[in-house]
């Protein structure tokens, strides 16, 4: 925030000893920084803190400007006196459980000063997944396995699934970020794609085509095409681009994915009136609060 914005905010709130944004929204897995502004002529040398609770009378202090941070927030909460009249609160690795009512606070004598901030945390929609090679795709020219990886750059708690395109309903191959293709499991040319999904959205990848040039259960030759323009030639090290035509079929989210990391090997047959304080703080009576409020990701 530049100096002009700070001056405007200070002028608009000059009658208040402490103020901030009343409401903020963030996405799961992200970080958020909230600035708490205060009157430096009155509270410059007092400890400032950040607490969580539905009311000013029941608020758990999570951290303060002296460096004390509640144990479960040690790696996720930072409170910094960044400049004259303002301190910042940064929370990282946000989850849906972090949503709720927070308070900017000043540990003032006789009556702590508090300002209410409502934080909403929403699930970030997944981005369209990309398909990448884990190993050299030209290994397919000698019939060796090639592993494909499905990955979304955006989203949290992402589930991945692989599908084979068919003339009727596309065949689900299972839940995993990786798919292994090899000669013995490719009786002919096949097309595959992956899906990325979470509670907010689901997206399909582009289609990758496995073109069988010489059919054999052991000594076949096949190529993997990731778009209509680019392909590698067996015997060279030219690699294809990483995307093609996007799949349009829907994925069934009603069934729970398998747990743990796994790699799929494709087979055509696989169908109380006080602040709750830490040791670094002393409990304060209710009457002290008088101010008005205002991977790759893997399958779970």
Tally Cβ neighbours within 10 Å of residue 102. 24
Residue 245 is predicted with a pLDDT of 54
Residue 219 is predicted with a pLDDT of 83
108-126: average pLDDT: 94
The C-alpha atoms of residue 23 and residue 26 are separated, in whole angstroms, by 10
Q: Within 13 Å and on the Cβ side, how many CA atoms surround 122? A: 8
Highest mean pLDDT out of 5-19, 109-123, 224-238, 272-286: 109-123
Residue 299 is predicted with a pLDDT of 26
Classified as helix, coil or strand, 142 is helix
Whether this prediction's pTM lies above 0.75 is answered by no
Q: What are phi and psi of 185, to 5 degrees?
A: -110, 10
- Using one digit for the tens of pLDDT, what is the confidence trace for 27-45? 998 999 999 999 999 999 9
**Residue tagged 């090679």 (tokens):** 133
For residue 30 the two structure tokens come to 């992200």
Residue 262 is predicted with a pLDDT of 58
Say which range, 159-163, 216-220, 250-254, 296-300, has the weakest mean pLDDT: 296-300
The C-alpha atoms of residue 278 and residue 71 are separated, in whole angstroms, by 9
* Residue in 263, 254, 266, 253 with CA at minimum distance from that of residue 186: 266
- Using one digit for the tens of pLDDT, what is the confidence trace for 65-83? 999 999 999 999 999 998 8
| Element of type H or E holding 10 | helix 3-12
The C-alpha atoms of residue 43 and residue 86 are separated, in whole angstroms, by 10
Between 189 and 245, residue with greater pLDDT: 189
43-55: average pLDDT: 94
Residue 290 is predicted with a pLDDT of 36
Between 257 and 121, residue with greater pLDDT: 121
All domains of the chain, ordered by start, with CATH? 3-122+274-288 (2.60.40.10), 130-261 (2.60.40.10)
Q: What angle do CA 195, 200, 201 make, to 5 degrees?
A: 30
Residue 85 is predicted with a pLDDT of 94
The C-alpha atoms of residue 42 and residue 98 are separated, in whole angstroms, by 31
Q: Which residues contact 2 (CB under 8 A, 6 or more apart)?
A: none
Per-residue pLDDT for 148 more than 50? yes
The C-alpha atoms of residue 102 and residue 61 are separated, in whole angstroms, by 9
* Residue in 188, 203, 195, 122 with CA at minimum distance from that of residue 162: 195
Residues across the chain: 300
The C-alpha atoms of residue 28 and residue 16 are separated, in whole angstroms, by 32
| Element of type H or E holding 43 | helix 40-43
* Terminal C-alpha separation, the chain: 39
Residue 178 is predicted with a pLDDT of 97
44: exposed, middle or buried (Cβ count in 10 Å: 0-12, 13-18, 19+) = exposed
256: exposed, middle or buried (Cβ count in 10 Å: 0-12, 13-18, 19+) = exposed
For residue 210 the two structure tokens come to 């496995």
The C-alpha atoms of residue 36 and residue 90 are separated, in whole angstroms, by 11
Contact, 103 vs 50, CB < 8 A?
Answer: yes
Question: pLDDT over 70 for what percent of the chain?
Answer: 71
């Amino acid at each position: 925030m530049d100096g002009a914005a700070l001056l405007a905010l200070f002028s608009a709130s000059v009658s208040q000893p402490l103020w901030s944004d009343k409401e903020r929204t963030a996405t799961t897995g992200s970080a958020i920084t909230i600035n708490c502004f205060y009157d430096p002529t009155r509270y410059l040398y007092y400890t400032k803190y950040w607490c969580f609770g539905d009311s000013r009378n029941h608020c758990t202090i999570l951290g303060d400007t002296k460096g004390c941070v509640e144990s479960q927030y040690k790696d996720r909460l930072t409170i910094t006196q960044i400049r004259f009249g303002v301190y910042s609160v940064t929370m990282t690795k946000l989850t849906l459980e972090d949503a709720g009512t927070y308070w900017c606070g000043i540990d003032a004598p006789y009556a702590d000063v508090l300002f209410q901030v409502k934080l909403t945390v929403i699930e970030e929609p997944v981005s369209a997944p990309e398909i990448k090679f884990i190993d050299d795709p030209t290994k397919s020219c000698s019939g060796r396995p090639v592993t494909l990886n499905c990955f979304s750059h955006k989203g949290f708690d992402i589930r991945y699934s692989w599908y084979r395109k068919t003339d009727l309903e596309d065949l689900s191959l299972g839940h995993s970020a990786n798919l292994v293709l090899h000669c013995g499991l490719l009786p002919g040319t096949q097309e595959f794609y992956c899906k990325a999904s979470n509670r907010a959205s689901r997206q399909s990848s582009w289609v990758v085509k496995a073109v069988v040039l010489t059919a054999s259960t052991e000594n076949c030759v096949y190529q993997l095409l990731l778009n209509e323009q680019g392909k590698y030639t067996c015997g060279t090290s030219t690699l294809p681009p990483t995307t093609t035509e996007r799949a349009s079929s829907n994925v069934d989210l009603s069934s729970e994915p398998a747990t743990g990391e796994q790699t799929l090997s494709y087979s055509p047959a696989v169908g109380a009136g006080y602040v709750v304080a830490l040791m670094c703080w002393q409990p304060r009576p209710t009457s002290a609060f008088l101010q008005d409020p205002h991977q790759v990701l893997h399958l779970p």
